[in-house]
Structure 1
Amino acid sequence: MSEPIVVGTDGSGESDRAVDWAAAEAALRERPLRIVHAVAARPTKTPLFSPAEKAERLARVGQAVVDKARERVRERWPGVETATAVVAEETHEALLRQAEGAFELVLGRRGRGGFASLLLGSTSLRMASRSTVPVVIVRGEATERGEVVAGIDVRKEVDAVLEYAFEAASLRGARVRVVHAWQLSTTLIDAGYTVEDEDAGPELRERVAAACEPLQRRYSQVDAVGEVVLEHPVQALTRPSRAARLLVVGARERRRGAPRLGSTGHGVVHHAQCPVAVVPSRR
C-alpha cells in the first residue's frame, strides 16, 4: 500500500476544511486517506462521571467524529480509500505516531478550544515544528486556481521543498513561483551600504535558476518562474499567498533527527492566506 495522507480532525469547522483538502489531495495523488482523532489518555475528573466513564464517552464521541468525516469523504470522493483511527493519546503525540511512514500530515489552522484571536493553534504549530513528514496547514480558502509558491533560501538545502512544489504543481496543472527573499544585514546597513553597493540580485537569480533546473527537466510540463526580491521573507511569501493554491516552505536543518521551524516558517504559517506545506529537510 502506498504511503497514506493523514489528517487530524476534532469535528470543528477548521478541521472539516482540513479533511476536505486532504481528501482532494488523496484523490489527486491516488493515495489512501487516514482520518485521526485523539482522545486524552487520562481525562480529567468531573463531578458527573468517573475517569473510566468519561474516557468511554470521549471515545464514543471521537468515533462519531471520524465516522462523520469518513462519510463526508465518501460522498464527495468515493474513489478514495479511507480509514479512521481514534487514539487514546495526547493530540500531538497521536499525530506524530500516526504520521510515521505517511506521505504527509494535514491539519486545520486551529481546532475546538482555539480562540478567535489566535493566529494558529498550538497543535498545528507543534506538528509543523516537529514532524519528519511534510505538514500541510489548511489556511484561508482553498482554491483550484493560482500558482504554487515555493519559498527557498539558496544558501541552504532546498531540494525537498522544490521537489514537493514542482510535483504539486504538476498534479494541479499550475505554475510554480520560486521566491528567494533577502535583506541587507544590519551590519551592512550601519556601514553605509545601499542596495546598489551590495547588488547580489544577479548572482542570486542564477542560483535560484540552478536550483530549479533539475526539477524543470523532470517536470518539463510545469511552467516555473524564479523571483528574487529585496524584502523580508515573510512579507515576500505572504503577499503572493493571497492568490496561490499552495505555499511551500522548508523546515530548518535537523537537530537530533527532528526538523526545526525557523522564523520565516513561523511567520508564514501564521500569516499566509492559503494552505501552507512545511517540508522537512532530508538531511
Structure 2
Amino acid sequence: MELPIVVGVDGSEGSLRALDWATAEAARAQLPLRVVHASLWEHYEGMRPTFDTRRPAEQILAEHLVASAQERARRLRTEVRVVADVQPADPVSALVRESYEATLVVLGSRGRGRIAGTLLGSVSLAVAGRSHCPVVVIPATVPDAQPKLGRVVVGIGDAAGPSAAARFAFARATSRHGELVAVRAWRCPAHETADHPLLAVSAAAVHRRRAEEHLDDVLAVLDRTGSGAMVRRTVLQGPVHQVLIEEAGGAELLVVGARRSGTHHGTHLGRVSHALLHYASCPVAVVPETP
C-alpha cells in the first residue's frame, strides 16, 4: 500500500510553499499527494436556522481553497496523483490523524490570521510533536542563497546505531542523488577543562576522537546497502542546535529526531528540535524515534 504525502493548506503563502515542496517530493518518491484543509466551520452551523439549507460560507471557501491547491499541484507535476479533502475538525487533530497513514506530513511554518506570526507554536510545532510519521516544516521565508541540490543534513546523537532520523536522511539524500552531511557535535565537560590548560587540551582531544569513532560506527551500519550515496562526516565542537543550524546553511533539508514519550502526549520535542524549527533557514524534518 502506498502511503501518501500529506500537506496541510490554509491559503497562506506559507502553505503554498509547503504545497510546492510536497508536490516535488511526491514526484521524486513516486507517491500520491493528499491535500488537506481542516477548520472548525461546522461549529457555527448551530447558529443557522434549521430550515436554511445553504452551506456555510466557510465550507464553500474551504472547498474552493483545496480545489485551487489541488489544481496548483497538478500543474506543477502532472505525473503526481493528487487528492484533496476538507475536514471539519481542529487542524492539529486532523493532521495527527492523517499521520497514521502517511509517509510524510508537510506544513508551512506560518499560516493565516491574527496568529500567523506564531503559528509554528500552535499548529506546526504541535503536529511535529504528536505525529506518527515524519513531519517536514517549510520555513516562512525564502533563503537568500539557492540551496545546494540534494544536500541533506542530519544530526547524529548518542544512540549506538543509526536512528530513525539518520535512516530517513540517508534515504532522502539517496533519492536526490545528493550528499548526506552527517553531523556529530561534541562538548568537553567544564570540570575537565577548569584545572589546567594542558589537561583541557588532552580532554578535548579525547572527546573529539570518541565523537569521530562513534560517527564512523553509525555510518558504517547505515551504508551497508552500498547505495553509493555521497556521505560527508562532520565533527564539530559546540551546542548541537548551533552546530546543526550553521551546517544546514544552503541545505535542501535538515533532519532531526524526536523521542517517542510513550504517553498520550506523543513525541517529545526537546530544545534542539525547538531551536531548529524556529531558526533553521531550510526545511526541517522531525522524525519520531520509536523504541
Task: Tell me what 2:236 maps to.
Answer: 229
Task: Tell me what 1:162 maps to.
Answer: 166
- The residue identity in structure 2 corresponding to 1:149 is V
**Using a 3 Å threshold, how does the CA distance of structure 1 residues 119 and 97 change in structure 2: closer, same or farther?**
closer
Task: Tell me what 2:108 maps to.
Answer: 108
**Using a 3 Å threshold, how does the CA distance of structure 1 residues 188 and 132 change in structure 2: closer, same or farther?**
farther
Task: Tell me what 1:10 maps to.
Answer: 10
Distance of 1:93 and 1:115 partners within structure 2: 18
Q: Secondary structure at the match of 1:227?
A: strand
TM-superposed deviation, 1:128: 1.1
Q: Does structure 1 conserve the Cα–Cα contact (< 8 Å) formed by 2:150 and 2:176?
A: no
Distance of 2:158 and 2:242 partners within structure 1: 18
- The residue identity in structure 2 corresponding to 1:271 is Y
Task: Tell me what 2:183 maps to.
Answer: 179
Task: Tell me what 1:277 maps to.
Answer: 285
Cα deviation 1:110-143 (Å, max 9, x = unaligned): 1102657548342001111111100000124384
Q: Secondary structure at the match of 2:120?
A: coil
Task: Tell me what 1:243 maps to.
Answer: 250
Which stretches in structure 1 are left out of the alignment for 5+ residues? none
**Using a 3 Å threshold, how does the CA distance of structure 1 residues 114 and 159 change in structure 2: closer, same or farther?**
farther
Q: Secondary structure at the match of 2:261?
A: strand
Distance of 1:185 and 1:119 partners within structure 2: 36
Q: Secondary structure at the match of 1:113?
A: coil
Q: Does structure 2 conserve the Cα–Cα contact (< 8 Å) formed by 1:106 and 1:138?
A: yes
TM-superposed deviation, 1:262: 1.1
Q: Secondary structure at the match of 2:202?
A: coil
Distance of 1:90 and 1:177 partners within structure 2: 37
Distance of 2:220 and 2:160 partners within structure 1: 16
Q: Does structure 2 conserve the Cα–Cα contact (< 8 Å) formed by 1:119 and 1:270?
A: no
Equivalent residue pairs, number: 281
- The residue identity in structure 1 corresponding to 2:274 is H
Q: Secondary structure at the match of 1:255?
A: coil
Task: Tell me what 1:210 maps to.
Answer: 217
TM-superposed deviation, 1:265: 0.8
Task: Tell me what 1:196 maps to.
Answer: 202
Cα deviation 1:222-250 (Å, max 9, x = unaligned): 11112121111111011122200100100
Distance of 1:277 and 1:227 partners within structure 2: 19
Q: Secondary structure at the match of 2:137?
A: strand
- The residue identity in structure 1 corresponding to 2:287 is V
Q: Does structure 2 conserve the Cα–Cα contact (< 8 Å) formed by 1:27 and 1:80?
A: yes
TM-superposed deviation, 1:51: 9.0
**Root mean square deviation, CA, Å:** 2.6
- The residue identity in structure 2 corresponding to 1:34 is R
Structure with larger Rg: 2
Distance of 1:144 and 1:226 partners within structure 2: 17
Q: TM-score, normalised by structure 1?
A: 0.90
Task: Tell me what 1:72 maps to.
Answer: 72
TM-superposed deviation, 1:188: 4.5
Q: Secondary structure at the match of 1:184?
A: coil
Distance of 1:107 and 1:242 partners within structure 2: 20
TM-superposed deviation, 1:261: 0.9
**Using a 3 Å threshold, how does the CA distance of structure 1 residues 41 and 60 change in structure 2: closer, same or farther?**
closer
Task: Tell me what 1:93 maps to.
Answer: 93
Q: Secondary structure at the match of 2:289?
A: coil
Q: Secondary structure at the match of 2:245?
A: helix
Distance of 2:211 and 2:163 partners within structure 1: 16
- The residue identity in structure 2 corresponding to 1:68 is S
Distance of 1:19 and 1:144 partners within structure 2: 20
Q: Secondary structure at the match of 2:210?
A: helix
Task: Tell me what 2:261 maps to.
Answer: 254
TM-superposed deviation, 1:217: 2.5
Q: TM-score, normalised by structure 2?
A: 0.87
Q: Does structure 2 conserve the Cα–Cα contact (< 8 Å) formed by 1:132 and 1:280?
A: yes
Which stretches in structure 2 are left out of the alignment for 5+ residues? none
